[in-house]
Structure 1
Amino acid sequence: MTLTNTLRQLTDSFKLPPVVVEKFDGNPLKFPTWEAAFSSLIECKAVSVNEKLYLLRQHLDGKPKSLVENYLLLGTENAYLKARQELRNRYGHSSVLAHAFLKKLNSWPKINGRDHVGLRDFSDYINEIVTAQATIPDLGILNYSAENCKILNKLPVYIETKWRGIVASCQKNQISPSFAQFAVFLTNKAEEANLPMLEATRQMKDSSRYAKDHKPRKSSHLTLKTDVSTETENIKTDQKKSEAPTTCPFCKSSHSLDKCDSFKVQPVRTKKKFIFASKLCFRCGAGGHFAAHCKTEVKCHHCI
């Protein structure tokens, strides 16, 4: 029975698609996974040292690849072990991994209160860090309140307020919540924000909000029409004023001051005194405005 099960497992394993180990390009966050995959799937199948070295080179890219090329010339077991150790020191050291995790965490953009998917992605990354803390002691810095405040600044206000309430309750007992407790809290909030049964409700709210924000604006034709109508009325009013009979302010006859023969023969001093006393325009001789605001086109009646 045992032999039958073994043969069946071997047969099933032949049906599985081949496992592909991706090339390592120098991202420290991917190094632990890549190293485990290479050791279990590639290294164990190599027969000679040269095969190990060339397979190692084939599964590297960029700077990591340049790093191990010097060891290919040696072609010894010791050279292969040194190449692997060099990769661990440069990309898999605890301090290097901690720096990479913290750099990505600090560069994470602030999450909008309506970005439920973004909140869930951030929660997943926080849980990834919690898992890494078991093997990367330097990530223990996230248990300090100063680092926790930096993370809070990336969260929506309503989540930040609730976590501050939890911290306040813990401080009454003279304890501080750990980073793992914060991860559990954030996971719960992300799950609440992404409940499938409430997804339809959120979509309806988003649709109504979109419709409200994108209401068709009233056409500006009405305003333009009003402006044109006003301007037309002003023109008609001016025309009526110009067509209305004009009374000379000097001799009281039916003509304008610039056509008054009696006014023309007066001395300049008398003319100025009369215009000033009658509060007339020194440019056109009409009333109701002064020369600084006169828009009347003045022409000489003799030169026309």
Structure 2
Amino acid sequence: MDKEASETSEEQIEMEEAIDKASVEMENVVTKRNFYRKKGYLYEKKTIDDKFDAIKRLYQNNNSEAIIAIVKNLKQPMPEIKKFSGHPLEFRKFVRQFTVKIVQNSDNEDEKMNYLEQYTFGEAHKVVSGFSHLSGEYAYQAAMEQLEERYGNCEVIANAFIKKALDWPILKAGDSKGLDEFSLFLIECKNTT
């Protein structure tokens, strides 16, 4: 029985050390990058604080596996979402990134709509902005449906690939780099269908 208590105590000490280390790393990150400025506005980054609060809650519940998973997640680099301009060949990538970073981490439709407006520009931003005067619950869903219809439709994507293939520069004899780029493009075409 004494051995089990010792193992539990050692495991708890290891967890506390991991949390302390994560806490120090989090404080450094939060103080350095808690806010960012864009076009004269100051924005607060919430994701790091949210993760740290989750660690605290899990520690209180003694869920060591979940704590370890979150600590590993904290050590990963923060992926960025590439802004979407309205090019159909970039739409699926944008939706995947937006879903992972924003949709899965927010239950608030107004917040999702605000992020959707921030992460679009050009024609796509005009589409999204057209729904910004509606309530968040309806606006986000309607904007995503409109984006899907305009840029995610299989026919639209296929036409974009055809146009890109027809606009491809003529390959010259001995242009191995050009041939390699064209073969990568054809692989992308194949994987999309």
> Could you tell me which amino acid in structure 2 is paired with residue 124 of structure 1?
L
Q: Which has the higher contact order (CA 8 A, sep 6+)?
A: 2
> How much has 1:47 moved relative to structure 2?
3.2
Specify the structure having the higher radius of gyration (Cα). Answer: 1
- The answer (yes or no) to whether the contact 1:53–1:75 under 8 Å persists in 2 is no
> How much has 1:4 moved relative to structure 2?
4.8
143, 161, 164: which is aligned to 1:83? 143
- The answer (yes or no) to whether the contact 1:28–1:96 under 8 Å persists in 2 is yes
SS class of match (1:20): coil
Partner of 2:82: 22
* Residue 32 in structure 1 maps to residue 88 in structure 2: no
> Could you tell me which amino acid in structure 1 is paired with residue 170 of structure 2?
K
Q: TM-score w.r.t. structure 1 length? A: 0.41
Which residues of 2 match residues 1-304 of structure 1 at below 5 A? Answer: 4-133=64-193
> How much has 1:70 moved relative to structure 2?
2.5
Distance 1:38 1:7 in 2: 25
> Could you tell me which amino acid in structure 2 is paired with residue 27 of structure 1?
H
Deviation digits for residues 82-108 of structure 1, max 9, x if unmatched? Answer: 110000111111111011000001111
SS class of match (1:109): coil
**Larger helix proportion of the pair:** 2
Identity percentage of aligned residues = 30
Partner of 2:49: none
The gaps in structure 2 that reach 5 residues or longer are: 1-10, 12-62
SS class of match (2:131): helix
SS class of match (1:66): helix
Q: Give the alignment's Cα RMSD to 1 decimal.
A: 1.7
> How much has 1:8 moved relative to structure 2?
2.6
Deviation digits for residues 265-287 of structure 1, max 9, x if unmatched? Answer: xxxxxxxxxxxxxxxxxxxxxxx
**Larger strand proportion of the pair:** 2
- The answer (yes or no) to whether the contact 1:21–1:37 under 8 Å persists in 2 is yes
Q: TM-score w.r.t. structure 2 length? A: 0.64
Distance 1:107 1:76 in 2: 40
Distance 2:174 2:154 in 1: 36
Residues matched between the structures, number: 132
The gaps in structure 1 that reach 5 residues or longer are: 134-304
